[in-house]
Amino acid sequence: MGQSMAIFQGSGVAIVTPFKEGGILDFDRLGELIDWQVEQETDAIVIVGTTGEASCLYDDEHLETIAYAVQKTAGRLPVIAGVGSNQTEHGIKLSQGAQKRGASALLHVTPYYNKTSPRGLIEHFTEIANSVDLPILLYSVPTRTGMNIAPDVVAELAKHPNITGIKEASGNIAQVAEIARVTPDDFAIYSGNDDMIIPVLSLGGLGVISVLANVAPRDTHDMVIKYLDGDIQGACKLQLDMKPLIDALFLEVNPIPVKAALSMMGKCEYEYRQPLCRMEESNFEKLKKEMKAWGLI
């Protein structure tokens, strides 16, 4: 996307939602995390996405968390609200609620479980985009939803003035290339995979919506900015050097490992809402080893 129009360039953190024991929302911890992310030069806060355990929040909690993030960030960074749903009316309700609470932009995942057809996808996203006055990023993550957004569908949706980009987490670099080919120059492409930041940037991507940035925000920001500033070698070195840590953060389903990592750093409680649970001990130790190796603990 053209620099002046993009929601952000660089690293957007897919921030966790901290809980106290018993699954109670911990806004104090969230506030500390947001302040730390700002200090560490993260470029956007992506609130209540997959990493934020959005699917385990009630609607009132979901919208309260967005409102808190907007208030706490206080205009220092854009706040992108995850408001996707597999039911279009529900997606509209959450989107309008996020807009009312001051979100800068919206992140919309494909319908999951019930899924739909390509035509259904176009209608779903178009109706949502018609219901708000905010930029929308599509979110393609077929491993979670069972539903891919094909490049021709992305190209069709990119015609809508409110649909300004995509978080591409298919893991298929050929598909990212085709999306880049068939969408306008000002359509923003963000990597949805921390192990593919540089490949996506090489195809014209503007950055990443990152799990890694929860624990290593400055390095994630630097990786993108180095690349965009022409230090390709430095950016590639960071991508490859960080791969063992990235792999460790995905030893179990996200956000189980990243919350474990943040608890090791003393930044949030080691708490989830079921069905998520604590890591297997052997995986926890592997993660701890990589956290130590990168100097995070």
State pLDDT tens for residues 219-254: 999 999 999 999 999 999 999 999 999 999 999 999
Q: What angle do CA 84, 87, 88 make, to 5 degrees?
A: 80
Asked whether the predicted pLDDT for residue 16 surpasses 50, the reply is: yes
pTM, two decimals, is 0.97
The CATH number for 10-235, chosen from 3.40.630.30, 3.20.20.70, 3.40.50.300, 3.40.30.10, is 3.20.20.70
Question: How many residues are given for the chain?
Answer: 297
pLDDT digits (tens, 9 = 90+) for 19-67: 999 999 999 999 999 999 999 999 999 999 999 999 999 999 999 999 9
Asked whether the predicted pLDDT for residue 4 surpasses 70, the reply is: no
Going by pLDDT thresholds of 50, 70 and 90, the confidence category of residue 5 is low
pLDDT digits (tens, 9 = 90+) for 238-296: 999 999 999 999 999 999 999 999 999 999 999 999 999 999 999 999 999 999 999 99
8 A C-beta contact, residue 146 and residue 114? no
Name the helix (H) or strand (E) containing 121. helix 118-130
Q: Give the integer Cα–Cα distance in Å for 142 and 173.
A: 14
* Token pair of 282 as six digits: 């052997």
Closest CA to 136 of 112, 104, 101, 182: 104
- What pLDDT does residue 213 have? 98
Asked whether the predicted pLDDT for residue 1 surpasses 70, the reply is: no
267 is catalytic: no
Domain borders along the chain are 10-235
Active-site position among 20, 58, 72, 139: 139
Active-site position among 72, 112, 113, 167: 167
- What pLDDT does residue 73 have? 98
pLDDT digits (tens, 9 = 90+) for 111-160: 999 999 999 999 999 999 999 999 999 999 999 999 999 999 999 999 99
Q: How far is CA 216 from CA 12, 38, 258, 269, in A?
A: 12, 12, 11, 18
167 is catalytic: yes
- What pLDDT does residue 32 have? 98
Asked whether the predicted pLDDT for residue 3 surpasses 50, the reply is: no
- What pLDDT does residue 205 have? 98
* Token pair of 155 as six digits: 């190209």
8 A C-beta contact, residue 50 and residue 141? yes
Asked whether the predicted pLDDT for residue 89 surpasses 60, the reply is: yes
Q: 240: buried, middle or exposed (CB in 10 Å: 19+, 13-18, 0-12)?
A: exposed
- What pLDDT does residue 2 have? 36
- What pLDDT does residue 6 have? 87
Closest CA to 85 of 60, 44, 130, 54: 54
